[in-house]
Chain A
Amino acid sequence: MPYVELHAHSAFSFLDGASLPDEQVASAVELGYDALALTDHDNLCGAMEHAQAAKALGLRALHGAELTLDDGRHLTLLVEDERGWRNLCRLVTRAHAHTRGDTPAERAGGQPGAGRGPAPGARPGGRTRIASQPHIPLAAVLDHAEGLVCLSGCAIRGVHDEASLKALRSAFTPANLRVELQRPYLRDDRARNRGLAAVARRLELRTVATGNVHAHTRARAPLQDTLVAVRLHATLDASEPERRGNFSHVLASPQAMAARFAADHPDAVAETVRVADRLRFDLCEHHGYRYPGEEDAHADRTLAEVSRVRLHERYADAGAALRSAAEARLEEELRIIAKLRLAGFFLLHRDMLELAREVALEVRGPDTARALLPPGRGRGSSVSSIVCYLTGLSHVDPIANDLFLGRFLNDELTALPDIDLDFPRDVRAALIPRIHERYGHDRSALVAAFPTYRARGAIRELGKALGLPPGEIERVARGSEGWSARDVAHDVAAALGPERLATGRWAWLARLAEQAHGLPRHLSQHPGGMIVATRPLIDCCPIVPAAMEGRQMVQWDKDSCADAGFLKIDLLGLGMLSAVERAVEDIARLRGERIDLSRIPYDDAPTYKAIQNAETTGVFQIESRAQMSSLLRTRPETLQDITIQVAIVRPGPIQGGAVNPYIERRQRLRVDPDFEIPYEHPSLVEPLRETLGTIIFQDQVIEVAMAFAGFSAGEAEGLRRAMSRKRSEAAIEAHHRKFIAGAVATHGVEPELAERIFDKVRGFSGFGFPKAHGAAFGLLAYQSTWLRVHYAPEFLCALLNEQPMGFYPPDALVHDAQRRGIAVLAPDVNASEVECSVESVGDGRVGSGSARVRIGLGYVRGVQARDAQALVEARRAGGPFRDLGDLAARAGAGRPALELLAWAGACDALSDPAHPRRIALWRLGAAVPARRLPGGHTQLALGLELPGAPELRELGAWEGMLADYETTGLTAAAHPLALLRAGLARAAVTSRDLATIGHGAQVRVGGLVVARQRPGTASGVVFMLLEDEHGTINLIVPPKLYERSRLTIRTAPLVLAVGRLERHPAAGGGINVLVERIEPLETADASRAEVREIAPAGDFRAVAPAVMSFGQGRR
């Protein structure tokens, strides 16, 4: 082997590398390399992937990084041994320490509506910090030389002056310092390399050749050029001086690299092999990571004692059978835990939950109704463990709920089990910094995530780099399916016509987007994964500050962390938990009722009636369009049914063909209680009994494999894993053969039957919930429905204040509540609080029918929290505002805030009753409001009489509604469809009329789009949910119509659809319209609505609420 590549970048150099580490490794093996280095810019993000990929293919992985010095020059560092790895981690950590130094002043408010960006009611996340570029002083590098080999850096930005090289030589010693020679085929290569070789001779240093690789194959070289342009926010044409100018940065064969340097610097080629031989560090070996408690000798005993004590308390009132089942289960779990030496792992989680309890008490306050609630709840498979239940890590009794343990814990477990905990957002936000404090800032960090290119981002960024027209880029991006960047060709063809793809830049866009698919674009944060360790984490992996103040993260994602054996604890923020707590708090305050959600009745008839009728808008999990249509068919009657319900609308059960058989059998059973469930084999009765012979839960895959194919628990879990995550066909095939052979051997069944069962297992593919997770989520679904049924105003108010969350935009939540008779009132400077609030009427007590929900002042987009706060405080101190002048003088809010409030209608009561909004706006614009002074004081303005407004044109209902949407994202006044109704074609029917129209009739319906979905499991069918002034309408759009009317379907906020009404008996009362024609409902046309002028609020499209659109969340 004549040459080893010691300088290579992957896509983890973020916009300066076009290949993934495993692509690079595979190419290197093919080209005949024995070893390959990965030296990304200023990070080690890809190091573990590089190590794992290399190990799998028998290549020796070398590790390093190209660090950026303070003056912008680059140095290449390679890891010789474990000390070197530690030093490199410290250097990279140091290089990033300052990267979140600056905070944008305007984002600091942190209350609803702060800043211009977020949607109305968006929650504060704390201060977010903008990233700057990492760099490090040369002196720091000199201090961390031990165990590292230093190369002088790349051709253009390397360290080439004698003084610096001398300093490096004394720190690294000549044995570990090389002068780096590259041949990028630029005009001055030979002169530069001659000069560098001369410097090396003078300093008695050796030279070494490197390739500065940025792509694993020539086909990716154009993408590398494009990413550089993206990084520079420039076009390819304009970024020419910064690009490499040719494709010599593609990984070349060792022979080709030797040939590049053969004439002038043959020694430098041979030196690559000698340097590589020095580098003996292997990242795949264990490097001393331990989690706290891992080595506690008494952990087994402590855990057993804690659990047994709690078992006696928890099951004190339980029947003897349940209690002895619980005891048996506990002993079994303790045995497995002791065998796997995981007691410390459970104790650590318990410790963390105790910390959460303290934090929750501080956040919630001691005397509140929320204080009754546990600090958080388990989710995922851990809920099946009785140890988790007893140590407080879960709130669902696994014995009473008959939860299967094997998916979480079994004798053959090879990796650490997963414990996921959900917290209300405020508790979680306070908990994370407390964990850093408790376990040490150097010993705890969040897990990273690497967002990859998706279609829309690829179209916009790569399209701009290619110099394509911005207007057309935007059309393609808006019409895009949005998920896979591989289908951009389709998006271009759909938006601009297929002829554009024949040649040129659009063809390049499609090709480059396909290549960029799956490449990491930047470093981001995992939603809640936390790593804790017994020794400084920076010895294992670099730590960088996260965007949120007070948080930091490792440079590895969850897969790399798992490969490193790091213990990851998931602390997730769950909006519904926050909403439920808020509601409980409000109920206690307004009605004097203290609700303990764990003790509410779980057989409440009105709650089940609401669920069965799909009256579930706003509740947890079972509120979506798909869930609602399923609810009408399954009609859940128990918590057990709801557990199945939350798990059923998932790709696993749908693709595994479980949904329809389950629903049909359920419907049959309702009619005929003697109906016998058909099981394909007697051994399947036990595992599949509760789901009527179908596979709905992940754990059933395991149970079926054990009962039917004779798998051990560990083998069955192996099968489940092979089918989830990154699915390897080869691995699944191995399990497949074993499954068939096992079934034949165990039960003597025909291979055809075994194949049929395996097909169901494979169809499920693991994209489903474990039952334990279903039970945990099902419970919250019930609890939230119960609140919605019995405490509707408080529940609505909590949902509005906890946005963004759930399936529906606030506007749809408000309309749904109004249809149920709950009054929702627009913001009012004399009545609103900062947040939305429940107003009681009459005796001050809230009861059904006498409560109203008032939109908060902070809900108005652009009104800063401190302005809303100041206004509310001024009103409390000095009484209601008498008039607009009084408001301007006392409110303590700036003019922009007052104008926004006026435009939102919040000052209507103080204005001219005839057409209040424009006059309020005009007069407040003329007022001189109070000014805030440094130090938090407010200089009040003189309460001058405001000038009267000139003759202003009246604000029409349509314009008022546009202003509502523009300022608050919702309207509490007339529904847009009510305003448009008169202008609609006479034949158009409302959602209310549909109930009385027969199956198969042609109907014409118009509505506001609330959701657009195109599930991967529905072979191209698009589902749309419309809302009009009376309710919602389900549209089904066939694939052909979708292709024809894609832009309308994807982007029009108001549509008019013509189609056939479908009412199937099996749908349980659900009605769909199978669409034949669809068009945007034009609003600018004065004949349709009473519109006199669209300005100043603009077109409806510009202010339409963000809705669930094609799997991208609400947008």
Chain B
Amino acid sequence: MVIPKVTRGGSHRIAAPRRARVLAAAHDGRPSTVDDRTVDAVRESWLVEDRWWNGSPIRRRYWEVVTTCGRDVVVFHDLRDGGWFLQR
């Protein structure tokens, strides 16, 4: 799995993403639970559409959320195959 750099100007080398169980709102894709933990707030949300020129293009909507138990997690929704992944 290729790990994209997710922000401009710097790279985040993070462990490989793993599948997550996410429930999300239908109209805007906002997650409401991540791995059974309820989402309290959305800190940021961003979009990566890249690598379209090679064999494995990337289209992901990222969400950085805080769960009710106070954890900050980043999940992304793969817009190509529809799966959800936990980035850290």
Tell whether, in the assembled complex, residue A156 and residue B46 are in contact, meaning their CB atoms are under 8 Å apart: no
Given A240-B50, A247-B49, the answer on whether A186 and B7 have CB atoms closer than 8 Å is yes
Q: Which listed residue, B8, B44, B47, B52, touches A241 by the CB 8 Å rule? A: B8
> Please, could you name 7 A-B residue pairs with CB atoms under 8 Å apart, sorted by A?
A185-B47, A187-B44, A189-B44, A236-B53, A245-B48, A245-B49, A245-B50
- Is A497 interfacial (CB 8 A cutoff)? no
Partner of B53, one of A185, A186, A189, A505: A505
Q: Which residues of B lie under 8 Å from residue A221 when comparing CB positions? A: 49
Shortest distance between the CB of B39 and any CB in chain A (Å) = 15
Question: Quick check: is A339 within 8 A (CB to CB) of the other chain?
Answer: no
Whether the pair A188, B47 counts as a contact (CB closer than 8 A) is no
**Which residue from A187, A191, A246 sits with its C-beta under 8 Å from B49?**
A246
What mask results when residues 1 to 14 of chain B are scored 1 for a CB within 8 Å of chain A, else 0? 00001111110000
Contact of B52 among A222, A248, A467, A503 (CB under 8 A): A222
Residue of A221, A225, A243, A245 with most partner-chain B CB within 10 A: A245
Q: Does A504 contact B (CB under 8 A)?
A: yes
Taking the nearest CB of chain A, how far is it from the CB of B75, in angstroms? 14
Could you tell me which residues of chain A, from 185 to 199, have a CB within 8 Å of some CB in chain B? 185-191
B70 located at the interface, meaning its Cβ lies under 8 Å from any Cβ of chain A in the complex: no
Minimum Cβ distance to chain A for residue B54 (Å): 7
| Residues in B neighbouring A248, C-beta threshold 8 A | 47
Given A241-B5, A241-B9, verify A466-B46 contact (CB < 8 Å). no
B30 → chain A closest CB, angstroms: 10
Contact of A246 with B7 in the complex, beta carbons under 8 Å: no
Closest B residue to A248 by beta carbon equals B47
Q: A508: CB under 8 A from chain B? A: yes
**Secondary structure at chain B's binding surface: helix, strand, loop or mixed?**
strand
Residues of chain B having any CB pair with chain A under 8 Å: 5-10, 43-50, 52-55, 62, 64
Interface pair A187/B7, CB less than 8 Å apart: yes
In this complex, the member of B7, B50, B64 whose beta carbon has the largest number of chain A beta carbons within 10 angstroms is B50
Chain A residues near B52 (CB, 8 Å)?
A: 222, 225, 508
Q: Quick one: closest B residue to A509, CB to CB?
A: B53
**Which residues of chain B are within 8 angstroms of A243 by Cβ–Cβ distance?**
50
Q: Is the CB of B50 within 8 A of A190?
A: no
* Given A187-B6, A187-B7, A246:B47 Cβ within 8 A: yes
In the complex, chain A residues 458-498 whose Cβ is within 8 Å of any chain B Cβ: 466-467
Q: B55: which of A185, A226, A245, A504 is its contact (CB, 8 Å)?
A: A504
Q: What chain A residues lie within 8 Å of B45 (beta carbons)?
A: 185, 190
How many whole Å from B81's CB to the nearest CB in chain A?
18
Considering the complex, which residues of chain A in the window 341-360 have a beta carbon less than 8 Å from any beta carbon of chain B? none
Q: Give the CA-CA distance A467 to B53 in the complex, in Å.
A: 10
Contact A188 B48 (CB under 8 A): no
Q: A240: which B residues are within 8 A, CB to CB?
A: 5, 50
Q: Contact partner of B48 among A225, A241, A246, CB < 8 A?
A: A246
Residues of A within 8 A of B5 (CB): 240-241
Produce 1/0 per residue, A201-228, CB < 8 A to B: 0000000000000000000011001100
Contact A246 B50 (CB under 8 A): yes
Report how far A243 CA is from B53 CA in the complex, Å: 14
Residues in B with CB closer than 8 Å to A466 are: 53
* Chain B residue nearest to A242 in the complex (CB): B8
Number of A-B contacts (CB under 8 A): 57
Q: Which residues on the A side are within 8 Å of B62 (C-beta)?
A: 187
**The one of B6, B9, B10, B44 that contacts A191, using a Cβ cutoff of 8 Å:** B44
Q: Are A508 and B8 in contact (CB under 8 A)?
A: no
Residue of A nearest to B49 (CB): A246
Residue from B46, B47, B49, B53 with most neighbouring chain A CB atoms (10 Å): B53
* B32 CB → nearest A CB, Å: 16
- Judge whether A186 and B46 touch: CB under 8 Å: yes
Distance from A258 Cβ to chain B, minimum over Cβ atoms (Å): 14
Determine the distance from Cα of A466 to Cα of B48 in the docked complex, in whole angstroms: 19
Given A222-B52, A246-B48, A504-B54, residue A186 in contact with residue B8 (CB < 8 A): yes
| B9: A residues at CB distance < 8 A | 241
Q: Within the assembled complex, what's the spacing in Å between the Cα atoms of A1061 and B17?
A: 71
In the assembly, what is the distance between CA of A191 and CA of B46, in Å?
Answer: 12
Q: CA A704 – CA B69 in complex, angstroms?
A: 87
Q: Mark A237-262, 1 if CB is under 8 A from B, else 0.
A: 00011010111100000000000000
- Is the pair A222, B46 in contact by a Cβ cutoff of 8 Å? no
Given A187-B62, A504-B55: 10 more A-B contacts, CB < 8 Å: A187-B6, A190-B45, A222-B53, A226-B53, A241-B5, A241-B10, A245-B49, A248-B47, A505-B54, A508-B52
CA distance A241 to B10 in the complex (A): 7
How far does the alpha carbon of A226 sit from the alpha carbon of B50 in the complex, in Å?
11
How far is it, in angstroms, between the C-alpha of A793 and the C-alpha of B53 when the chains are bound?
59
Write out the residue numbers on chain B whose beta carbons fall within 8 Å of the beta carbon of A186: 7-8, 46
Which residues on A sit within 8 Å (CB–CB) of B49? 221, 245-247
Q: Contact between A185 and B46 (Cβ–Cβ < 8 Å)? A: yes
CB-CB nearest in chain A for B55: A504
With both beta carbons as reference points, the residue of chain B lying nearest to A465 in the complex is identified as B53
Closest-by-CB residue of A relative to B53 is A508
Distance, CA A508 to CA B10, complexed state (A): 27
A190 touches B53 (CB 8 A): no
Contacts of B64 in A (CB 8 A): 187
B21 shortest CB reach to chain A, Å: 23
Residues 122-172 of A contacting B (Cβ, < 8 Å): 156
Contacting residues, chain A, for B50 (C-beta < 8 A) = 225, 240, 243, 245-246
The residues of B that contact A185 with a CB separation of less than 8 Å are 45-47
* Contact call B53/A188, Cβ cutoff below 8 A: no
Contact B8 A156 (CB under 8 A): yes
- Chain B nearest CB: distance from A176 CB in Å? 30
* B88 CB → nearest A CB, Å: 13
Bound Cα distance from A933 to B52, whole angstroms: 58
Contacts of B53 in A (CB 8 A): 222, 226, 236, 466-467, 505, 508
The answer for the CA separation of A191 and B5 in the assembled complex, in Å, is 19
9 cross-chain pairs, A with B, having the tightest CB-CB distances, nearest first: A185-B47, A246-B47, A246-B49, A187-B7, A187-B46, A185-B46, A247-B49, A508-B53, A222-B52
Q: C-beta contact mask, A497-518 vs B, less than 8 Å → 1, else 0?
A: 0000001110010000000000
- Whether B44 and A190, one on each chain, are in contact in the complex, defined by CB atoms closer than 8 angstroms, is yes
Kindly report which residue of chain A lies nearest to residue B30, judged by CB atoms: A263
Which residues from chain A contact B54 at a C-beta distance below 8 Å? 504-505
Closest approach, in angstroms, between the C-beta of A236 and any C-beta of chain B? 6
- Cβ of B47: which chain A residues have Cβ within 8 Å of it? 185, 245-248
Residue of B nearest to A512 (CB): B53
**With the chains together, A187 CA to B64 CA distance in Å?**
9
Report the separation of the CA atoms of residues A1024 and B6 in the bound assembly, to the nearest whole angstrom.
Answer: 55
List chain B residues, Cβ under 8 A from A236. 53
